[in-house]
Amino acid sequence: MSEDRVYIFDTTLRDGEQSPGVALNAATKLAIAEQLARLGVDIIEAGFPQASEGDFEAVRSIAAHVHGPTIAALARCHDADIEAAARALEPAEHPRIHVFIATSPVHMQAKLKLSPEEVLARVAEKVAKARAYVDDVEFSAEDATRSDWDFLVEVAKTAVAAGATTINLPDTVGYTTPEEYRQLVAHIRRGLNNPAIRISVHCHNDLGLAVANTLAGIEAGCRQVEVAVNGIGERAGNAALEEVVMALVARRDQFRVTHHIQTQEIYRTSQMVSRLTGMVIQPNKAVVGKNAFRHESGIHQDGMLKDRRTYEILTPESIGVPQTLLVLGKHSGRHALRQRLAELGLSATPEQLDNIQKRVKALAEIKSEINDADLEALWQDEVQGQKVEEAELVTWQVATGADTVPNARVVVRFRGAVREAHGVGDGPVHALFQALAQALGLQGVELSSFRLAPVSPGEDGLATVTVEVRGYDHETAGQASDADVLKASAYALKDALGLMARHLLARGIVA
Ligand code: KIV
Ligand code: ZN
């Protein structure tokens, strides 16, 4: 292990995917994982295999197809979790099982109902169990920053004695501050006194301190940082990969550490994750926001013209902001399309490629140039659109206006039968929702979220609609892109409601 290298552990596909409203299928996760490998991350946390069949499949497919980085899978200190992680990781070149248990008084008492001694015994037993499957085991002390520091040293020593090689100290609830975290990391390093063990940090952003805390961890000697692209993750998210990495680049004089990130891949990765998750990037977001390199005031513009270094500490080129977008138009052939998709790390079956090509041609009728963002949105639609095959939207109409009660008609093929339904609502999207819910035989469900985001600038561009539907203690999501926002809404709603119908049928709630 090189002394001054920081290992980048990306948790976009695990903690990031825990962002409310984000639901990625296995094909999309694989495409993101392939891009993360191009970005140069050292470890990809691919998911939590015991959480669901979908998570298991996604981890297994990433383990089988992504070469280079270590592939990690999360597991609680439970036999079933560790066994599922080990099975999902079987095809990986470099597998890692990431075992965790909470160590703070509130978590041990209220959630786990275990004494500190019982937690120590679990750590010893379950880390050893994970180690029997793989050589690379990471142990995380959940809620480390609200745990007793000496107890944490004992927990870390127990995990190391049982075979863990990385010890992670998560700030699970985003509670710590840079100075406190620096001292905590230093305390654990001193207590462990074992340079062969890599200390890791994992910071949540509840107080907006995730990146600052992560950098403080590096200053205190941790050599793995757990981060997510665009800072997505539970609640306020995780430390943003691009912010941590670019701080290490811009302030190399201060941090004096190296990393293996190809920074020119940052922008593309950020755009891809935003589009595929439906998590929009705020314009003033550090490093990757739309305004990150724009200079509005006259004084700043003047300074930039004289010497860019006056107001620019990072260049757009350094993170790979494309100077010219795109290439494809209505005359582009199948070969060019396949090649561009491959360059973007997106694979498609011959049938999917045909459908994407048809949509590229249709879009080219209204838009002179189709850029990478458009193409990725169409790819996503085609690949993710497969997910509710048993509910097909045959046709739809919607009417609204100054003197019209918004109303919709849909025809759906569902489980072999063709069903027509009508709905009225407060607006056209609501009317479509009512009609589709009725056609799929659903009652007691509500549209809990509707998001509309342009895929690329310009009035003739595509827009992506992301919807969430809630009912019976369950939530589903759907996403679709089109130049017609009502059409995108209809398809996104069809998928979200189709997933809900599938779930309620499986639970016997609807017949
Ligand atoms: O925030 C947290 O504590 C986690 C652990 C499972 C590593 O995500
Ligand atoms: Zn976390």
172 touches ligand 1 (CB under 6 Å): yes
> Mean pLDDT throughout 264-284?
89
pLDDT confidence of residue 293: 86
Q: Which helix or strand (DSSP H or E) is residue 109 part of?
A: none
Q: Which helix or strand (DSSP H or E) is residue 67 part of?
A: none
pLDDT confidence of residue 427: 96
Q: Is the pLDDT of residue 475 over 50?
A: yes
Q: Is the pLDDT of residue 424 over 60?
A: yes
**pLDDT classification of 325: cutoffs 50, 70, 90:** very low
* Least confident residue range of 26-35, 39-48, 58-67, 423-432: 26-35
pLDDT confidence of residue 376: 82
Residue pair 15/233 in contact (Cβ under 8 Å)? The answer is yes
Query: Is the pTM here over 0.85, yes or no?
Result: no
pLDDT confidence of residue 324: 44
**pLDDT classification of 2: cutoffs 50, 70, 90:** very low
Centre of ligand 1 to C-alpha 18, Å, is 11
Residue pair 144/169 in contact (Cβ under 8 Å)? The answer is yes
Please tell me which residue, 459 or 207, carries the higher pLDDT value.
207
* Count of helices and strands (H, E) across the chain: 17, 14
Residue pair 278/466 in contact (Cβ under 8 Å)? The answer is yes
Residue pair 60/90 in contact (Cβ under 8 Å)? The answer is yes
Q: Which of 122, 125, 159 is nearest to 140 (CA)?
A: 159
pLDDT confidence of residue 138: 98
100 touches ligand 1 (CB under 6 Å): yes
Query: Whose C-alpha lies nearest to ligand 1, atom 2?
Result: 172
> Mean pLDDT throughout 14-37?
88
> Mean pLDDT throughout 214-219?
98
pLDDT confidence of residue 36: 97
pLDDT confidence of residue 458: 63
Ligand 1 atom at minimum distance from 168 CA: 7
> Mean pLDDT throughout 174-202?
98
Centre of ligand 2 to C-alpha 380, Å, is 27
Could you give the CA distance from residue 169 to residue 15 in angstroms, rounded to a whole number?
A: 15
Ligand of minimum distance to the alpha carbon of 231 = 2
Three-state DSSP at 242 gives helix
Q: Is the pLDDT of residue 327 over 60?
A: no
What is the per-residue pLDDT across 76-132, written as a single tens digit (0 to 9) for each?
999 999 999 999 999 999 999 999 999 999 999 999 999 999 999 999 999 999 999
Note the Cα 26 to chain centre separation in Å: 12
Q: Which helix or strand (DSSP H or E) is residue 96 part of?
A: strand 95-102
CATH number of 4-277: 3.20.20.70
**pLDDT classification of 323: cutoffs 50, 70, 90:** low
Task: Render the burial of 431-443: b for 16+ CB within 10 Å, e for the rest.
Answer: bbbbbbbbbbbbe
Q: Is the pLDDT of residue 198 over 90?
A: yes
The residues pairing with 73 across neighbouring beta strands, listed in sequence order, are 47, 97
Does domain 391-506 fall into CATH 3.30.160.270? yes
pLDDT confidence of residue 311: 84
What are the domain boundaries of the chain? Answer: 4-277, 293-318, 334-384, 391-506
Pocket test for ligand 1, best of 172, 203, 204, 213 (most atoms within 8 A of CB): 172
